[in-house]
Structure 1
Amino acid sequence: MSNKSKPIGLSCWKSIIVLFCLLNTLASKAQERVLLQDGISKHIFIYKEIESFVDTTNKLTIKDVIKPAFSDKFKPSKTFTPTNYQYLHNGWYRIKINHSQAVKNSWILEFFDQTIEEIHFYTPDHQGAYSQQSFGAARPFDQRFYFHKNFALNLDTAFKGDRIYYFSVKSSHPSNVMVVLKPVVSYFKYALKEYYLFGIYYGMILIFSLYNFMMFLAVKQKQYIYYIIYNLSIGMFEMSSNGIAYQYLWPDSPEWNGIAFGVMLYLASISSMLFTREFLYTKTKAPTLNKLILVAIGIRTLFFGACLFIDEQLFNYKYIEIIPLVICYFTGWYVYKKGYRPARFFVAGYTFLVLGVLIRVVKTVYPYNLPFGPANFYSLSFCFIMEMLFVSFAISDKVRLLKKKKDKAQSRMFQEIKLNQLLKDNQNKELEKQVLLRTKEVIAQSEIIKSQNEELLNMNELLNLKAEEINKINEFLKRDNIELQTDIEKVSQARVMSKEVDFTEFSKIYPDNNACFKFLAELKWNDQYQCRKCGNVHYFEGISPHSRRCSKCGYDESVTTNTIFHNSKIPINKAFYIIFLMYSSNGKISSYKLSEILSMRQGTCWAYSNKVKKIMDERKKELKNAGEKGWSKLVLL
């Protein structure tokens, strides 16, 4: 008996030691519980008060996660409040609330991130079974229990003791899992105060927009339209981000609500850069930065197209807006350093905006030990208001500067008008003196002129008789000259067409475009005009020289249409001479010789001479015995 009792006693001691170690381990890892107390207005679940793990299979149910085997998979939050960065998988969370104390208040649980698409909340009953409540941004707004931008549900305090609540979160973007325990009274008090502040905030944005619209009506500058679009886009972005837009503007459109913030952010970014260009006169004051802004607008638009038509998940990369913000901020500093004073308010406003973005970046990149509060939660909204305020100052300063310049210009103009009037008065007095002196001289000379006029009348009668005789002689000479000139032109043209002449002599026959066009018109329509479109034979003068416009269909045919000169890039008289030389030399003159004669590029002469040579080869039979008519056979196509 004594031999068997020793090993049994040793075994019992070992079991006690193992059990003690296990209990000690569980106690060290036990989740902290939150005690319901009527004296608190709210409690945020932080650090060890909220535990989580990620279901990479996306298949686990509440029956699976409440099993003891899953207890060790839940880990306490390492940040002030957990954030689900693995948004492709279900995130499971649990909180422990103690109902031991008697409480009079009704309590709710509120989820502050209203962009979470699916939340399934599981509440235990006294038998250990769990009931499910589902809500999220992917569901129509009217399915919520409370008509509020945040998700909220009532907490059942009927059962006493520690109660563990589970909930799963799934979204298409990183989610901030901030759970707050509040009495219902505090919840409504905070909600009313928050909505009151929202009304002030969005009212200020509307006031800024209305102010700029009035400025646009007064000044008629498109920069105010850009800034109105920017203000309204920022307002809509804020409403889309905090859930107000989903609550009041599109409560039945969860799909649009998922991308509305990205669309509004794009409009705000583009309108901000366009406003910067117009307000700071970057075309003249900073040409390089102006080109950089245009490139940024193009790239941002391409990225927006990729977000909209390729992958809507790209909308989650909000911090791409830092690039346009930095460009606008640097442009403001640069233009201010160049001496443009209204830019100082622009820089001040964007300094607040940069500060707000930096706070948001710090919250995202380094969330550890960063407590929740209005100062950091609404910091960007406050910075937006300050930016709009200072930019409004900048716009007013710009208008004041323009008014000052206008007043100075008007003052200068009035001084010039006054000086001109004084000069005009002095000139009028001097002219009056000169007119009086001249009048006396004219009266004295009028008598002399009167006697001379009588003599001139007699002479005029004799001159009229001589003039009639001279006119008759001139008419005979004019006829002879016309006939002689016509004969000379015919002889010259015949000489040009029949033998080799230089370009100087050739230019006398076709000295300008008009002479060339006149020749082409006679060559084209020597027989009779006929419209190429409808066959009509009646025409009016066309728009270009020597062109003809159909009186029926209105087709205007230029003189070079359907000729070798159509769409030619070289002067038409030189083109005439190239054809003449090619025809007279039977196509044997080189492009180098043509370049030397006409002072043109050899490549141009080579291309055009080849075009003529090709037509000569095609019409070799027609040109064989054409003589002088060979010219026209090369011109018309």
Structure 2
Amino acid sequence: MRKLIYIIFLSAFISTHQLSAQRISGSSTLKIDDNLQERIFSISQLEFFEDSSNLLTFHQIIQPRFQDNFKIRPSFNKNKFDINHTYWVKLSIDKTPESSKKWLMEFYDQTMDLVEIYAPQDNGNYKKIVLGDAVPFGIRNFRHKNFEIIIENASEGISNYYVKIRSSQKADIRIAIRSLNRFIFYALNEYFVYGIFYGMIAIIGLYNLLVYAAVREIKYLYYSFYLVSVGIYAMCVDGIAFQYLWPNYPEWNQIANGVFNYSIVLWAIMFSIKFLNTKYRTPKLHYSLLAILGIKSLLFLIGLFFDQKLFEIKYYDIIPFFFIFTASIYIWYQGYKVARFFVFAYGVLFVGVVIKVLVNAAIIPHMTMVYYSLHIAFLLEMLLLTFALGDRIRILKDNRDRALKRTIKQIEVNYALKEKVNRELELKVQERTQELEQKNSLLEEYNHQLMEKDEEIKRINSLLDKDNWRLKSSIKASFQARLTNQLLSYDEFQRIFPDQSACLRHLEEFKWGNGFICRNCKYTKSSKGPKLFTRRCSRCGHIDSVTAGTIFHGVKFPLEKAFYIAYDIIANTEKQTLEQLSELLDIRKNTVWNFRKKTKQNIEALQLESPHWYDILMMEEEKEKSK
């Protein structure tokens, strides 16, 4: 902060002296006087001629008949400068040979592309001195960011200096006549202030780069890029970049301002989006910022490849910073405390940008403090944004500490509750243990009684088994007699073959009960097939089912009904008509007729390959007896 106060004080000091010098100078003729350290002439105080044809030469403009064209135009300012015209400036100096000081002429605006100074010599000729940011820096007599030449003061009389100026940007034509001592004092102090300014940018940028390396939050990297862009842009505006960064590449000066102006907007928007989290806190302003960045990028590309006039500071350059400022105020208003220093930072920068635009448009008169307003705004903004980043960390730390305290308090409460529950559980366990011991003794008593009852039940079950066997034998005998006499009804037949599985089990027993024989290769070993009631030949892999090779293979209706139709034919009952069987079995009459026909045609083959239905029932009875 002390450095900032010193910068403001020094800028005010320089501004005061420059303003006093401007008030002293009332015309473009200057008499060298040791009592005055410097005099500064603005374009409105100088005699000049605007050459719209760009064809006039120095030999033409120094002709006596042309001198009346040089006039002072008090209303002319930087905003009226036409980049398509050539300007010829005439400055008359009344020399004082007895002066004890050396004097020089200085041009402040470092963005002028070409400055040709025609200095008068003692022999009556003129010496041409070429300066400007379109020529290499090394050709200058003074290795200084501004343009300076020594004024010859060896003889008396008035000497006319002619200056030819061409610029692709609006030039602020301002000529200072000052002593060499004054120049050295002014230059050293100015470079000292620049050193502080750029040093702070470098330190803050390096600090944020190290923070990014530690925490890996992209916003710190964006902020570092933003600071680098601010630093280089300020160096371009001051002429420092041409002196130290690319002295042998003057063509860079034509686009450097636009490139780093765009870079400032790019990284300012990216940093603001991440810092304020605009995507979730204010989606409308978030997409507005992205749209502004897109438009700025388009203007940048047009300026880079087609029209470099767009690189000058315009009124619309305020818009990105206005939206960032608005978004920060809105988010702060919504309760996001982290944004408070951010609001102050971009508020200062917004004011600085507005002042710079007004100065560039010549709406505000030139003053040193006003000229360096953007530098001061950048400096204050960097400090406040650094405070904002630190404040964000502090707020997050406070939130974390409060959350940790709440967690610790909750853990203590949970521990106390756990202890209370454990004590209650111990009491409950003791009570339940006593109850369980009592109930266990009762259970042992009941178990003893159950064992006695079980013995009694086993004895009764053995008697029941005997009675049940006798009953089953009686029932089988009754069914056998009924089957022999061909008197089984459909309901009685269903008790023997209630479903398809029962039919398939009987077929499996009769077909493979005495061993498997592959119908394909006659091999006798097999394994289970992929489905129930199938076998796979262990040699050829042929899969055989229980119905394959029988009249029941491929039957499209329930197998137990097919069994009954076959039984009705084999038992030679056939007392039921097709209509009766169709209604009884709930099968279409054509289906019953087709299966009966098929059965009759193959009955002899079936008698050879399959047991008689009577034998089927007899085998079932034998199985029951064996069990």
Normalization by structure 1: what TM-score? 0.64
Counterpart contact for 1:84–1:177, Cα < 8 Å: no
CA distance in 2, matches of 1:238, 1:296: 23
1:390 corresponding residue in structure 2: 384
Taking a change above 3 Å as real, the CA distance of residues 204 and 438 of structure 1, as seen in their structure-2 partners, is same
1:378 is the counterpart of 2:372: yes
CA deviation after TM superposition for structure 1 residue 227, in Å: 1.9
Q: 1:186 aligns with which of 182, 187, 205?
A: 182
CA distance in 2, matches of 1:486, 1:169: 112
CA deviation after TM superposition for structure 1 residue 122, in Å: 0.3
CA deviation after TM superposition for structure 1 residue 445, in Å: 6.4
Q: 2:420 aligns with which of 408, 416, 426?
A: 426
CA distance in 2, matches of 1:145, 1:486: 115
1:411 is the counterpart of 2:405: yes
Q: 1:249 aligns with which of 245, 250, 253?
A: 245
Q: 1:298 aligns with which of 294, 297, 320?
A: 294
Counterpart contact for 2:313–2:357, Cα < 8 Å: no
Counterpart contact for 2:359–2:371, Cα < 8 Å: no
1:329 is the counterpart of 2:325: yes
Structure 2 unaligned regions, length at least 5: 1-25, 459-464, 466-500, 506-530, 535-544, 558-627
CA deviation after TM superposition for structure 1 residue 346, in Å: 2.1
Residues 599-610 of structure 1 aligned to structure 2 (within 5 Å) = none
Taking a change above 3 Å as real, the CA distance of residues 65 and 491 of structure 1, as seen in their structure-2 partners, is farther
Note the aligned Cα RMSD (angstroms): 3.5
Q: Which moved more, 1:209-218 or 1:407-416?
A: 209-218
CA distance in 2, matches of 1:49, 1:285: 54
SS at 1:158 equivalent: coil
Residues 64-75 of structure 1 aligned to structure 2 (within 5 Å) = 64-75=60-71
Structure 1 counterpart of 2:238, one-letter code: N
Q: Which moved more, 1:210-219 or 1:276-285?
A: 210-219
SS at 2:119 equivalent: strand
Q: 1:199 aligns with which of 191, 195, 201?
A: 195
2:224 corresponding residue in structure 1: 228
Structure 1 counterpart of 2:353, one-letter code: V
Taking a change above 3 Å as real, the CA distance of residues 426 and 363 of structure 1, as seen in their structure-2 partners, is same
Structure 2 counterpart of 1:327, one-letter code: F
1:59 corresponding residue in structure 2: 55
CA displacement 1:275-304 (0-9 Å, x = unmatched): 222222322332211121111122112222
Structure 2 counterpart of 1:401, one-letter code: I
CA deviation after TM superposition for structure 1 residue 109, in Å: 0.9
1:212 is the counterpart of 2:241: no
Structure 1 counterpart of 2:404, one-letter code: Q
Taking a change above 3 Å as real, the CA distance of residues 268 and 149 of structure 1, as seen in their structure-2 partners, is same
Structure 1 counterpart of 2:182, one-letter code: S
Structure 1 counterpart of 2:312, one-letter code: N
Taking a change above 3 Å as real, the CA distance of residues 491 and 360 of structure 1, as seen in their structure-2 partners, is farther
Structure 1 counterpart of 2:424, one-letter code: E
Structure 2 counterpart of 1:345, one-letter code: F
1:525 corresponding residue in structure 2: none
Structure 2 counterpart of 1:176, one-letter code: D
Structure 2 counterpart of 1:406, one-letter code: R
Q: 1:149 aligns with which of 142, 145, 148?
A: 145
CA distance in 2, matches of 1:427, 1:358: 69
Counterpart contact for 2:504–2:546, Cα < 8 Å: no
Counterpart contact for 1:100–1:162, Cα < 8 Å: no
SS at 1:260 equivalent: helix
Residue identity over aligned pairs, in percent, reads 34
Q: 2:360 aligns with which of 345, 357, 364?
A: 364
Residues 445-460 of structure 1 aligned to structure 2 (within 5 Å) = none
CA distance in 1, matches of 2:451, 2:204: 89
CA deviation after TM superposition for structure 1 residue 433, in Å: 3.2
SS at 2:337 equivalent: coil
Q: Which moved more, 1:101-110 or 1:344-353?
A: 344-353
CA deviation after TM superposition for structure 1 residue 344, in Å: 3.0
CA displacement 1:485-539 (0-9 Å, x = unmatched): 9999x9899xxxxxxxxxxxxxxxxxxxxxxxxxxxxxxxxxxxxxxxxxxxxxx
Normalization by structure 2: what TM-score? 0.65
Structure 1 counterpart of 2:380, one-letter code: M
Taking a change above 3 Å as real, the CA distance of residues 381 and 90 of structure 1, as seen in their structure-2 partners, is same
CA displacement 1:299-322 (0-9 Å, x = unmatched): 112222222233333212444321
Counterpart contact for 1:123–1:131, Cα < 8 Å: yes
1:497 corresponding residue in structure 2: none
Counterpart contact for 1:33–1:49, Cα < 8 Å: no
CA distance in 2, matches of 1:478, 1:357: 98
CA distance in 2, matches of 1:146, 1:397: 46
Larger of the two Rg values belongs to structure: 2
Q: 2:346 aligns with which of 350, 355, 360?
A: 350
CA distance in 1, matches of 2:259, 2:183: 32
Counterpart contact for 1:136–1:151, Cα < 8 Å: yes
Residues 392-541 of structure 1 aligned to structure 2 (within 5 Å) = 392-440=386-434, 482=532
CA displacement 1:128-168 (0-9 Å, x = unmatched): 32121112111111111111111111111123100100010
SS at 1:164 equivalent: strand
CA deviation after TM superposition for structure 1 residue 81, in Å: 6.7
CA distance in 2, matches of 1:118, 1:172: 9
Structure 1 unaligned regions, length at least 5: 1-29, 467-475, 494-637
CA distance in 1, matches of 2:322, 2:303: 22
CA distance in 2, matches of 1:33, 1:337: 58
1:33 is the counterpart of 2:36: no
CA distance in 2, matches of 1:196, 1:392: 23
CA distance in 2, matches of 1:374, 1:317: 18
Q: 2:118 aligns with which of 92, 116, 122?
A: 122
SS at 1:131 equivalent: strand
Residues 571-586 of structure 1 aligned to structure 2 (within 5 Å) = none
CA distance in 2, matches of 1:478, 1:236: 97
CA deviation after TM superposition for structure 1 residue 221, in Å: 2.9
Taking a change above 3 Å as real, the CA distance of residues 296 and 486 of structure 1, as seen in their structure-2 partners, is farther
Taking a change above 3 Å as real, the CA distance of residues 100 and 80 of structure 1, as seen in their structure-2 partners, is farther
1:240 is the counterpart of 2:259: no
CA distance in 2, matches of 1:82, 1:295: 32
Counterpart contact for 1:114–1:151, Cα < 8 Å: yes
CA distance in 2, matches of 1:302, 1:48: 37
CA deviation after TM superposition for structure 1 residue 477, in Å: 6.8
Q: Which moved more, 1:56-65 or 1:440-449?
A: 440-449
CA deviation after TM superposition for structure 1 residue 272, in Å: 1.2
Taking a change above 3 Å as real, the CA distance of residues 478 and 241 of structure 1, as seen in their structure-2 partners, is farther
Structure 2 counterpart of 1:389, one-letter code: L
Q: 2:267 aligns with which of 257, 265, 271?
A: 271
Q: 2:108 aligns with which of 104, 112, 118?
A: 112
2:540 corresponding residue in structure 1: none
Taking a change above 3 Å as real, the CA distance of residues 486 and 141 of structure 1, as seen in their structure-2 partners, is farther
CA displacement 1:381-433 (0-9 Å, x = unmatched): 11111122222223333222222221121111111111221222222223333
Structure 2 counterpart of 1:376, one-letter code: V
Counterpart contact for 1:79–1:367, Cα < 8 Å: no
Taking a change above 3 Å as real, the CA distance of residues 450 and 139 of structure 1, as seen in their structure-2 partners, is farther
CA displacement 1:546-600 (0-9 Å, x = unmatched): xxxxxxxxxxxxxxxxxxxxxxxxxxxxxxxxxxxxxxxxxxxxxxxxxxxxxxx
CA distance in 2, matches of 1:382, 1:486: 101
2:623 corresponding residue in structure 1: none
CA distance in 2, matches of 1:192, 1:67: 41
CA deviation after TM superposition for structure 1 residue 99, in Å: 0.6
Counterpart contact for 1:122–1:167, Cα < 8 Å: yes
Taking a change above 3 Å as real, the CA distance of residues 48 and 175 of structure 1, as seen in their structure-2 partners, is closer
Taking a change above 3 Å as real, the CA distance of residues 161 and 491 of structure 1, as seen in their structure-2 partners, is farther
Taking a change above 3 Å as real, the CA distance of residues 83 and 70 of structure 1, as seen in their structure-2 partners, is farther
SS at 2:92 equivalent: strand
